[in-house]
Structures are given as structure tokens and as C-alpha cells.
């Protein structure tokens, strides 16, 4: 088999959906398969996933990909795995799960996270990890389990993240990747675990649970006989442990095109991830509010700095569903696509002084500021404003939140590459370009997360000498034409984004007051 005939499989195990994608040697999608992966949300804020079921779904989706495209089986030269971030996936000495996994959506460790962030050593912790503490992180969840389920922790031999668990199922190797291991328990300057971080987190006694860090660009392990049988693949093919899904999505989504440019990448889906690429640790500018993430990026020495909105397109779903619910109650059938078409066909609303702060999540906001009590709101309404003005304000709010995140990381990028659900909206892309006063560019890659981890495989097996060469082939040719700012709107949005920042600062005590009231919608 020639390298031109080679196939790489990238697996992206999301929170509720697991995808397997087959790529050729230049990053063209040959085939895809996906299966839903259920999780359970409990009334007490616990959100859990069955670990064995997640492995079974992963094996089934790979098997479905191969069965539906039998011609690729003997052409596969490597398999890569990335997955949802944060959470806690415990296994015992025999590799058997110790209870269900705690997901990143789980809020049980909120008080622990708050106590850490208010503690005397938090400045030191943040200076080492470059990452704001959050209840979704494994560090806080391990502390919670230590306090409330010590017998479960006592049975555990390894604390995995989702992709680490799936990598163990595929290879039998206990490992963690540099991105999650370091931003949770390490020092971004050394790309390794940090003893002082474990001391501040009060997790020194659980250090034995942390797997060795394995960089998938340097090491890969063979697919086991059992996993090969379950996945329908040849035994022994190399399996690469990818970086966390957001880093693989940024890689496949255009953040790195072979050069460490001043571009940014925004992944605007249910949540919003806004990322800048940094050539090395010296280029890091830590957030003054001690929020966000510094993550190892899958290229030698490079790091990615990220701020994350808790809610992005969730705000759009909310304002659409309000109208849909009322219409359905009146016996009028309406769905999101029909309503969006109606909005698109309506003459555009003016960019008047209506502001929307997009903090619609019950969990508040985590970037570029941390406030679990933050809530969404409209400002500046009067009798002349219509639903169309409100919808425009929601889109603007997402764009202002994106600007707020990039602003917290330093100078705005020269260009922003966008992926995720919102990347399909030309209206949002045009609006974002004018709010940022920067060109916005999409990439012709529908499976960015799987593409990112497949690029890691391509480098590891020798298809490319380094990630820069892989990006030149997989990313650069797929970058679409840029959307330029509308000069007539730029000055309007420059004033409006300053108002956005001022009002969200003023709202903080109001959110706190609402937080003391136990309210539930009827």
C-alpha cells in the first residue's frame, strides 16, 4: 500500500455524540459514522455517564465506519482518539470502572471550586497552571469524591479523562495527554505535573492516580487484539492519544495553518471557545481576572490561550424556542428552521442601542470573568423595538462576548477562524467581523475535532515531518475567503461594545441579589 492510498481514522467522543471519521492522506473526508452516547442529569446537579457504555458506543461507531466502507479496513495506518474535556473517569487496578464518570457538566464541586479560588494560594495556582479553577475540572471533583465517597477513591488506581479511558480500552495503556494533565495539575512552562499545584489543591495523597503523560506526537501504542475485534480493525495498528477535543478542534478548524500567526479561532457551538496560538510560554499574558485556560498545543513548544463562554448558540435556541412554544400553544406549527427563515426574510433590524448579555446558562459565566450567578438580560428597550431587534441583539451579544474574551487575552487577533454551529450563519459571521473589526474566515472542514487528532496521527506515522507540514496540506487549502467588516457598522459597534462591558460590570450586584432568591420558572 502506498501512502497516497493510506487512511487515518479520527475519533471525536463528544458528550452526547461519538463520531468516527476516515480521512485520506491529505485530510479529505472519505466516510463518517456517529452514534449517540447518553448521559444522566440528576436533580442534585450530578451529571454522569456510564463508562462501559461509552466504550461500547465508541467501538460500535468505529465498527460501523469500517463495515459501511469495507474497502478502507486494510488501508488504515493509524487511529487517533480525542474526547470531551474535564470530568473524572476512575478505574481500579484491573481497569474496571469505579462507578460512573463525572462529566464536565457536573456541578457538585462548585463550593470546592469557589473555596480554592478564594484561598490564599490561588494566585500561585493560577500562575502555574494558567487556568482558572472550575467545578467541572477533575481536581475539584476528586476533592469532592475524597470528602463524600472516600471508599470509591480508595478503590481507584487511575483517574482518567474521557479520551484517556477510551485510549486505555483501545491499547491497555494508562496515559494522560499534555493538554488536560497540565492545565489541571501541572505547569504550562514545563508541560508536566507540578508538585506545588497538587499541594495547593490538597491532592498530594492522590498523586498516584494521575497517569503518566504521553504526547501523541511522539508515542503511539498498538491496538489490542480484543479492541481490534470489537472495532473491526487490524490488530496492532498504532493508536494516538490526542489532545483534549477543544485543542484538536482548533487544530482542525484552522488555528494553525503551518505558521504561528496572529490569528484566533472561535468554536461557537452550545458553548463558545475563543483561542489564540502562542509560540511559547514567554508569550503568555495571564488573565487579570484569573480566568480562562492555558493549554499545551500539539506542536513543539506551542501553547494555546483560551477564554470560554458558558453559553453561545444556547442563547439563540432560547429566543427561537420562546416564540415556537407560544405558537405551538396556539395550535400553530412552527420549528426553528421555519422561524429562522422568517427572520432572514424580514428587512434587517437596525443596530440600535439594545444590548443583550448572553449569560443564559444556569451555571452563569466562566469567561472572561467567573460568576456562577451571572444571568442574561436585555438593556435599552423601548416601545419601538420588535422581536427582530431582540433577535439581532442576541446575535450581537454573542459577538460582544467573543470580543470580551479576546480582549482579556491581549490585542485582538489579526483574523479569526470560526467553526461550530454558528459558523453556518452568514449573518452572524458578518456581524462578528464588524464587532471585532477583523476579517472572519471559515474552513471547509465539517469534522474539525476528528481532523485535528487525525493530523496528529499523520505526523506520528511519518506522513508528514511535523505539524507545520501537515497543516499546510490539511488546513491551508481549506480556508475559505474571508468576510470583511462592514465599515458603516464598525464605529457603531465600537461604542456599543464599550457599553456592553460597562453594563455587565454594573450588573454584578444585581446577579448576586437574584442569586439569594430561590426562583423556579413555572
pLDDT tens for each residue of 374-408 = 899 999 999 988 888 998 899 999 999 999 999 99
The neighbouring-strand residues paired with 277 are 304
Q: What is the pLDDT of residue 520?
A: 47
Q: What is the mean pLDDT of residues 326-351?
A: 83
Q: Is residue 425 part of a domain?
A: yes
Residue 226 and residue 340 in one domain = no
Q: What is the pLDDT of residue 191?
A: 96
Residue 237 and residue 368 in one domain = no
Q: What is the pLDDT of residue 1?
A: 52
How far apart are alpha carbons 522 and 520 in whole angstroms? 6
Residue 405 and residue 459 in one domain = no
The answer to whether residues 101 and 51 touch, using CB atoms and an 8 Å cutoff, is: yes
- Cα 461 to the center of its chain, rounded Å: 26
Cβ density class 230-253: b for 16+ within 10 Å, e for less: bbbbeeebbbbbbbbbbbbbbbbb
Q: Is residue 307 part of a domain?
A: no
Q: Is residue 364 part of a domain?
A: yes
Query: Whole-number mean pLDDT of the chain?
Result: 91
Q: Is residue 490 part of a domain?
A: yes
More confident residue, 360 or 78: 78
Confidence of residue 438 (pLDDT cuts 50, 70, 90): very high
Question: Is a pLDDT exceeding 60 seen at residue 522?
Answer: no
Q: Where is mean pLDDT largest: 132-136, 147-151, 479-483?
A: 147-151
Q: What is the pLDDT of residue 172?
A: 97
Q: What is the mean pLDDT of residues 193-207?
A: 97
The answer to whether residues 457 and 219 touch, using CB atoms and an 8 Å cutoff, is: no
Confidence of residue 426 (pLDDT cuts 50, 70, 90): confident
Alpha-carbon distance values, 43 to 14, 40, 84, 453 (Å): 22, 10, 22, 35
More confident residue, 235 or 337: 235
Residue 163 has phi, psi (to 5 degrees) of -65, -30
Q: What CATH number has the domain bearing residue 490?
A: 3.30.420.40
Grid cell 454558528 — which residue?
Answer: 422
Residue 225 and residue 340 in one domain = no
Domain count, the chain: 3
Q: What is the pLDDT of residue 433?
A: 95
Q: Is residue 302 part of a domain?
A: no
Q: What is the mean pLDDT of residues 75-96?
A: 96
Residue 333 and residue 386 in one domain = yes
Q: What is the pLDDT of residue 345?
A: 79
How far apart are alpha carbons 418 and 444 in whole angstroms? 11
Q: Per mean pLDDT, which range of 85-94, 146-155, 202-211, 322-331 is the poorest?
A: 322-331
What confidence tens digit (pLDDT) does each residue in 445-469 have? Answer: 889 999 999 999 999 999 999 999 9
Q: What is the pLDDT of residue 351?
A: 65
Q: What is the mean pLDDT of residues 418-430?
A: 85
Residue 12 and residue 53 in one domain = yes
Residue 363 and residue 505 in one domain = yes
- Cα 475 to the center of its chain, rounded Å: 19
Report the alpha-carbon angle 260-417-456, nearest 5: 55
Q: Is residue 297 part of a domain?
A: no
Residue 330 and residue 432 in one domain = yes
Grid cell 470580543 — which residue?
Answer: 403
More confident residue, 144 or 257: 144
More confident residue, 215 or 258: 215
Confidence of residue 516 (pLDDT cuts 50, 70, 90): low
Q: Is residue 284 part of a domain?
A: no
Residue 74 and residue 140 in one domain = no
Q: Is residue 244 part of a domain?
A: yes
Residue 328 and residue 404 in one domain = yes
Give the structural domain span for 227. 1-41+49-85+161-172+216-254+445-481
Q: What is the mean pLDDT of residues 126-142?
A: 94
Residue 367 and residue 497 in one domain = yes
Output the furthest CA–CA distance in the chain (Å, rounded).
70
The answer to whether residues 481 and 426 touch, using CB atoms and an 8 Å cutoff, is: no
**Is residue 368 reached through a cis peptide bond, with omega within 30 degrees of 0 on the bond before it?**
yes
Residue 353 and residue 500 in one domain = yes
Amino acid at each position: 500500500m502506498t501512502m497516497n492510498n493510506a487512511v487515518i481514522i479520527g475519533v471525536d467522543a463528544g458528550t452526547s455524540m461519538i463520531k468516527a471519521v476516515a480521512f485520506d492522506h491529505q485530510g479529505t473526508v472519505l466516510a463518517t459514522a456517529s452514534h449517540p452516547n447518553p448521559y444522566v442529569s440528576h436533580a442534585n446537579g450530578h451529571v454522569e455517564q456510564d463508562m462501559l457504555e461509552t466504550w461500547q458506543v465508541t467501538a460500535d461507531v468505529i465498527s460501523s465506519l469500517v463495515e459501511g466502507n469495507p474497502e478502507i479496513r486494510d488501508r488504515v495506518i493509524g487511529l487517533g482518539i480525542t474526547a470531551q474535556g474535564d470530568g473524572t473517569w476512575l478505574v481500579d487496578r484491573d481497569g474496571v470502572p469505579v462507578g460512573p464518570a463525572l462529566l464536565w457538566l457536573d456541578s457538585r464541586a462548585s463550593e470546592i471550586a469557589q473555596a480554592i479560588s478564594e484561598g490564599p494560594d490561588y494566585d500561585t495556582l493560577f500562575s502555574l497552571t494558567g487556568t482558572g479553577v472550575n467545578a467541572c475540572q477533575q481536581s475539584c471533583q476528586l476533592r469532592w469524591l475524597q470528602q463524600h465517597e472516600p471508599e470509591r477513591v480508595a478503590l481507584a488506581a487511575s483517574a482518567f479523562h474521557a479520551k484517556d479511558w477510551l485510549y486505555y480500552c483501545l491499547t491497555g495503556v494508562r496515559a494522560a495527554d499534555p493538554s488536560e494533565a497540565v492545565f489541571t495539575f501541572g505547569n504550562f512552562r514545563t508541560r508536566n505535573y507540578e508538585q506545588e499545584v497538587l499541594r495547593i489543591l490538597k491532592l498530594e495523597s492522590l498523586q498516584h492516580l494521575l497517569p503518566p503523560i504521553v504526547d501523541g506526537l511522539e508515542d503511539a501504542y498498538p491496538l489490542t487484539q480484543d479492541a481490534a475485534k470489537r472495532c473491526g480493525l487490524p490488530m496492532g495498528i498504532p493508536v494516538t492519544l490526542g489532545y483534549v477535543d477543544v485543542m484538536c478542534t482548533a487544530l482542525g478548524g484552522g488555528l494553525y495553518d503551518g505558521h504561528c500567526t496572529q490569528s484566533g479561532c472561535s468554536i461557537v457551538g452550545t458553548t463558545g471557545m475563543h483561542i489564540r496560538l502562542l509560540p511559547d510560554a514567554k508569550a503568555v499574558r495571564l488573565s487579570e481576572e484569573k480566568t480562562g485556560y492555558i493549554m499545551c498545543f500539539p506542536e513543539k513548544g506551542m501553547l494555546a490561550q483560551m477564554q470560554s463562554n458558558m453559553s453561545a448558540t444556547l442563547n439563540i435556541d432560547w429566543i427561537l424556542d420562546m416564540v415556537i412554544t407560544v405558537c405551538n400553544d396556539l395550535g400553530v406549527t412552527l420549528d426553528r428552521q421555519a422561524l429562522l427563515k422568517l427572520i432572514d426574510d424580514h428587512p434587517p433590524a437596525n443596530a440600535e442601542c439594545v444590548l443583550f448579555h448572553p449569560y443564559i446558562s444556569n451555571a452563569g459565566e466562566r469567561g472572561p470573568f467567573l460568576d456562577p450567578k451571572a444571568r442574561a438580560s436585555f438593556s435599552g428597550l423601548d416601545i419601538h423595538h420588535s422581536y427582530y431587534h431582540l433577535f439581532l441583539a442576541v446575535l450581537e451579544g454573542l459577538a460582544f462576548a467573543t470580543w470580551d474574551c479576546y480582549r482579556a487575552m491581549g490585542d485582538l487577533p489579526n483574523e479569526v477562524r470560526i467553526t461550530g454551529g454558528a459558523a453556518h450563519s452568514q449573518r452572524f459571521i458578518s456581524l462578528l467581523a464588524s464587532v471585532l473589526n477583523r476579517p472572519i474566515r471559515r474552513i471547509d472542514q465539517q469534522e474539525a475535532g476528528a481532523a485535528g487528532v487525525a493530523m496528529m496521527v499523520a505526523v506520528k506515522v511519518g506522513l508528514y515531518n511535523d505539524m507545520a507540514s501537515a497543516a499546510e496540506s490539511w488546513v491551508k487549502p481549506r480556508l475559505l475567503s474571508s468576510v470583511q467588516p462592514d465599515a458603516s457598522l464598525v464605529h457603531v459597534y465600537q461604542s456599543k461594545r464599550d457599553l456592553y462591558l460597562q453594563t455587565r460590570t454594573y450588573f454584578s450586584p444585581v446577579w448576586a441579589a437574584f442569586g439569594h432568591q430561590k426562583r423556579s420558572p413555572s
